[in-house]
Chains A and B, each alone.
Chain A
Amino acid sequence: MDKENYFAPALTAADINSRVAYSTQKPGVKFYLAIALFLAMIGFGAYCLYTQITTGMGVAGMNNPVAWGIYLTNFVFWVGIAHSGTLISAILFLFRSRWRTSVNRIAEAMTVFAVMMAGLFPLIHLGRIWFCYWLFPYPNARTLWVNFRSPLNWDVFAVSTYMTVSTLFFIVGMIPDMAVLRDRFTGVKNKIYGIFAMGWRGTHKQWHHYETAYMLFAALATPLVISVHSIVSWDFAMSILPGWHSTIFAPYFVSGAIFSGCAMVITILYPLRKIFKLEDLITKKHFTRLAQMMLLTSLIVSYSYLTEFFIAWYSNNNFEQESFLYRAFGYYGPYFWIMLTCNMFIPLTIFFKKIRTNVKILFIISIFVNIGMWMERFVIIITSLARDFDPYAWGQYSPTHIEWGIFIGSFGGFLLLFFSFVKFAPVVAISEVKGQIHHDMHGGDHD
């Protein structure tokens, strides 16, 4: 366990309360403007979806042979974003990484909202969204069941389980902090926070139960992080399409997900700590640690890219080889090179200490990574479908404004949820940070 001090010096417990509660004060004009923008984005997305529902799936650019377009790209993108939350909350908790305390709440919130957005896309993609309950196995008069052998159906279970557990983890983790906010307010606010505080009084027994529950959730959520994205990767790998059918897909997608998730945490954290003046609690060191996580996962992702290319050559299988050549030098080549630059080359700069300790540059890198990871899913899905075995069945795909509109709408939805969360709830885990600071001051040693 490292003994570094992650917070600004001389921070007291009262400071933390007030600093965290700062974000829950009455918002200004800028806040409402931002909300209006997000609502407009959602409105546009909703309009596009409405058009698709009333006109038919033809308004989206998907057709034979590229029947999976950017809807599924977005699905994988959002599920990926959702992974860092649980990584930071659960896995780093189990590894006793102390730096997680300042950022875990934000990452968890991001997880929950990103899964919500992710869950929408398969439904939008399938069409006839009003029949979405057909995805669940339920007893019915015609004894029809979902196809349990279909990886798409595994997704339904994987994503909904992940969503349930991460939401519970998120809500349970907030109980003591909600009590802090409850005690700061009177009237309606006191009542609302009181509901989320669930009668928290901070007794010894309550803490004991809380810590047991937290540990249990962490232990349950850790394998879930790996299983969910493995299953998402198997949506592709189970088929026999060259470029999709690859055994490395599960670990490759899991690390890619954590990679994009950490990037998104940095992207969000940077403006957030400026706006809400959280520089004392979320320091440069936290960004450095997140960047190191990003570097590690970027290296695993790069390893997977290179392995795939090597094995495609080694296999001596024409279809494999052509599929990867097309990926790099075909019609979608530029996207491939954008992906490689953003995911493989730019993150390498984090090796330099000057760069990983510069918050502004990390913010810029994180935006590149977000773009790169979206591109990665685009490249994998579209290029493999556009050129499979038979030249007769080749074709190209480009997304229509409807598909882009829904993508923009999902960003609006995500940001709206996130901003509402920031206004309502404690953005930093107060009790954990306090425990940490107490620990630092008294120089405790757990090992």
Chain B
Amino acid sequence: MKENNALVKNIRIITGALIVAGIVFVVLGARSNEPSRMWQIYLVNFLLWTGVAQAGAIFSAVLEITNARWGSRMRSVAESLVSFLPVSIVLLLIMIIGSPHIFPWISKVEIPAAKQIYLNLPFLYGRNLLGMGLLTFLSIVFINKRRSADTGLIERPRKFAVVLLILYAVIYTFVAFDFIMSLSPHWYSTIMGMHFFTACFYTGLSVILMSAVFGRWHLFPADFMRDKDFHDLGKLLFGFAIFWMSLVWSQFLVIWYGNMPEETEFLHLRFYEHPWQTMTWSFIILGFFVPLIILLNKKGKTNQIVSSIVATLILLGSFVHLYVLVVPSITPHHLYIGIQEFAVSLGFIGLFILSHDVGLKYWPIPD
């Protein structure tokens, strides 16, 4: 380990400062007279970073099932993202306080009695805490198992990986229905679940790439990562950019063409009305066109300066994407951008990097 970098040396102090700033603004925002403003950005960040952390385990599980060897070094990096998952359970518990300011169906919008069976706070948090708790537990057990399997102590946890993947798809579908779709209580779209868990995985890949590039420069043993690893991950990222966009497009086209008022409302707000229109286009450019053009080239994939910039833009695009999915449902007529939004988001980033750092200690990179 070459810990000579100023950033690496002071990582605890920097992330600590970010987290403290985040906490201060979360508390201030929750107690202000516009609590929705704080809780919506909290929810966006919660979904983004939980999805990224979960994607670390899913990446490893996919490699396990497909017998893939190209990613054997990359997966060590991916797995250390998982250490954020226990933190995210705590963050989910904290969110219970903000629920009245997040879910319109609690007081603002009336929903039919039949829907109340599904959309009520105890059941919503019950199922999500259970689901995410289960996923967190299984992800950690899986990673420990596959690491022991690498040393030949136990059998490869392939069955475990299959269970993890199936649960991921199911649980994340409900996360999408509950925390994104239910914010517009009358709106529904069958693709939402698949769309969300694909987006999480795609964002996860970009963070894995950023983390691997940073690690190669500052943390890992000199010959640990190879150019070939980055080439392969770049290809996967490129493929997922297209696949993710195809799901965005599938949802858009069907609703646009059908043009039924109860469905179109959701898209019209995001694609045709200010200020959301600009944000929608920016996530399409950041998440789709940028990787499409730059990662198509081999140099774009193998040059780590270029690919990590692309990955950063994808992460930014994913943030905007989730923002556009969540926020217009809660505050349709105001775009809040201020120090509060930045501070809360930076707090989440600090928390994520800190747990990532802890993860690297707990599941070290093999020398």
Q: Which residues of A contact B (CB under 8 A)?
A: 1-2, 4, 95-96, 223, 226, 230, 234, 237-240, 245-251, 299, 303-304, 307-308, 311, 314-317, 447
Q: Which 10 A-B pairs have the closest CB atoms?
A: A248-B190, A2-B67, A247-B191, A250-B250, A248-B191, A315-B188, A247-B189, A238-B257, A247-B251, A247-B254
Cα–Cα, bound, A316→B111 (Å): 10
- Report 18 cross-chain contacts, Cβ distance below 8 Å, ordered by A residue: A1-B68, A223-B242, A226-B246, A230-B246, A234-B257, A238-B258, A247-B189, A247-B251, A248-B191, A250-B246, A250-B247, A251-B194, A299-B166, A308-B190, A311-B188, A314-B118, A317-B262, A447-B69
B169: Cβ under 8 A from any A Cβ: yes
In chain B, what residue has the closest Cβ to A239? B258
B295 to chain A, nearest CB (A): 13
A96-B70, A249-B254 given; 15 more Cβ-contact pairs under 8 Å: A226-B243, A230-B250, A237-B254, A240-B258, A240-B260, A245-B258, A246-B254, A247-B191, A248-B190, A250-B254, A251-B194, A303-B170, A304-B190, A307-B173, A314-B115
Residues of B within 8 A of A304 (CB): 190
Residues of A within 8 A of B111 (CB): 316
B246 to chain A, nearest CB (A): 6
Q: Could you say which of B70, B177, B246, B257 contacts A314, with CB atoms under 8 Å apart? A: B177
Cα–Cα, bound, A274→B243 (Å): 39
Q: A447, B228: Cβ atoms under 8 Å?
A: yes
B114: Cβ under 8 A from any A Cβ: yes
Q: A303, B169: Cβ atoms under 8 Å?
A: yes
B236 to chain A, nearest CB (A): 10
Cα–Cα, bound, A57→B215 (Å): 68
B112: Cβ under 8 A from any A Cβ: yes
Residues of A within 8 A of B173 (CB): 303, 307
B253: Cβ under 8 A from any A Cβ: yes
In chain B, what residue has the closest Cβ to A4? B67
Cα–Cα, bound, A249→B190 (Å): 8
In chain A, what residue has the closest Cβ to B255? A247
Residues of A within 8 A of B257 (CB): 234, 238
Q: Within B244-299, which residues are at the interface with A (CB < 8 Å)?
A: 246-247, 250-251, 253-255, 257-258, 260, 262
Cα–Cα, bound, A315→B260 (Å): 14
Q: Could you say which of A234, A316, A317, A447 contacts B254, with CB atoms under 8 Å apart? A: A234
Residues of A within 8 A of B350 (CB): none
B202 to chain A, nearest CB (A): 14
B61 to chain A, nearest CB (A): 13
B233 to chain A, nearest CB (A): 13
A294 to chain B, nearest CB (A): 15
In chain B, what residue has the closest Cβ to A246? B190
Q: A251, B166: Cβ atoms under 8 Å?
A: no
Cα–Cα, bound, A311→B115 (Å): 11
Q: B112, A238: Cβ atoms under 8 Å?
A: no
Q: Which residues of B contact A (CB under 8 A)?
A: 66-70, 111-112, 114-115, 118, 166, 169-170, 173, 177, 188-194, 228, 242-243, 246-247, 250-251, 253-255, 257-258, 260, 262
Residues of A within 8 A of B66 (CB): 95
Q: Could you say which of A4, A238, A316 contacts B115, with CB atoms under 8 Å apart? A: A316
Q: B190, A311: Cβ atoms under 8 Å?
A: yes
Q: Could you say which of A95, A245, A247, A447 contacts B250, with CB atoms under 8 Å apart? A: A247
Highest count of chain A CB atoms <10 Å: which of B114, B250, B253, B255: B250
Q: A307, B193: Cβ atoms under 8 Å?
A: yes
Cα–Cα, bound, A210→B179 (Å): 50
Cα–Cα, bound, A95→B63 (Å): 12
Cα–Cα, bound, A350→B194 (Å): 24
Cα–Cα, bound, A223→B254 (Å): 19
Q: B228, A245: Cβ atoms under 8 Å?
A: no
Q: A1, B258: Cβ atoms under 8 Å?
A: no
In chain A, what residue has the closest Cβ to B235? A94
Residues of B within 8 A of A299 (CB): 166
Highest count of chain B CB atoms <10 Å: which of A1, A96, A238, A316: A316
Residues of A within 8 A of B67 (CB): 1-2, 4
Q: Could you say which of B69, B193, B250 contacts A249, with CB atoms under 8 Å apart? A: B250
In chain A, what residue has the closest Cβ to B115? A316
Cα–Cα, bound, A223→B245 (Å): 12
Cα–Cα, bound, A308→B243 (Å): 21
In chain B, what residue has the closest Cβ to A97? B66
Cα–Cα, bound, A299→B65 (Å): 15
Q: Could you say which of A1, A226, A251, A314 contacts B69, with CB atoms under 8 Å apart? A: A1
Cα–Cα, bound, A307→B173 (Å): 9
A441 to chain B, nearest CB (A): 19
In chain A, what residue has the closest Cβ to B251? A247
Given A2-B67, A248-B190, A250-B246, verify A316-B177 contact (CB < 8 Å). no
Q: B188, A314: Cβ atoms under 8 Å?
A: yes
B312 to chain A, nearest CB (A): 26
Cα–Cα, bound, A349→B23 (Å): 50
Residues of A within 8 A of B70 (CB): 1, 96, 447
Cα–Cα, bound, A245→B189 (Å): 10
In chain B, what residue has the closest Cβ to A149? B257
Q: A248, B194: Cβ atoms under 8 Å?
A: yes
Q: Could you say which of A95, A311, A316 contacts B114, with CB atoms under 8 Å apart? A: A316
B96 to chain A, nearest CB (A): 22
B19 to chain A, nearest CB (A): 37
Cα–Cα, bound, A304→B254 (Å): 16
Q: Could you say which of B68, B190, B254 contacts A307, with CB atoms under 8 Å apart? A: B190
Cα–Cα, bound, A384→B179 (Å): 31
B291 to chain A, nearest CB (A): 15
Cα–Cα, bound, A315→B119 (Å): 12
Cα–Cα, bound, A1→B69 (Å): 5
Cα–Cα, bound, A37→B95 (Å): 68
Residues of A within 8 A of B69 (CB): 1-2, 447
Cα–Cα, bound, A246→B246 (Å): 15
A256 to chain B, nearest CB (A): 14
A347 to chain B, nearest CB (A): 14
Residues of A within 8 A of B193 (CB): 307
Residues of B within 8 A of A303 (CB): 169-170, 173, 194
A171 to chain B, nearest CB (A): 26
Residues of B within 8 A of A315 (CB): 188
Q: B260, A251: Cβ atoms under 8 Å?
A: no
Residues of B within 8 A of A1 (CB): 67-70
In chain B, what residue has the closest Cβ to A238? B257
Highest count of chain A CB atoms <10 Å: which of B115, B166, B190, B194: B190
Q: B242, A247: Cβ atoms under 8 Å?
A: no
Q: Could you say which of B112, B247, B253 contacts A251, with CB atoms under 8 Å apart? A: B247
Residues of A within 8 A of B262 (CB): 317
Given A2-B67, A234-B254, A251-B250, verify A316-B194 contact (CB < 8 Å). no
B112 to chain A, nearest CB (A): 5
B122 to chain A, nearest CB (A): 18
B241 to chain A, nearest CB (A): 12
Residues of B within 8 A of A226 (CB): 243, 246
A8 to chain B, nearest CB (A): 21
Cα–Cα, bound, A315→B188 (Å): 6
In chain A, what residue has the closest Cβ to B193? A307
Cα–Cα, bound, A249→B260 (Å): 17
Cα–Cα, bound, A246→B242 (Å): 21
A82 to chain B, nearest CB (A): 19
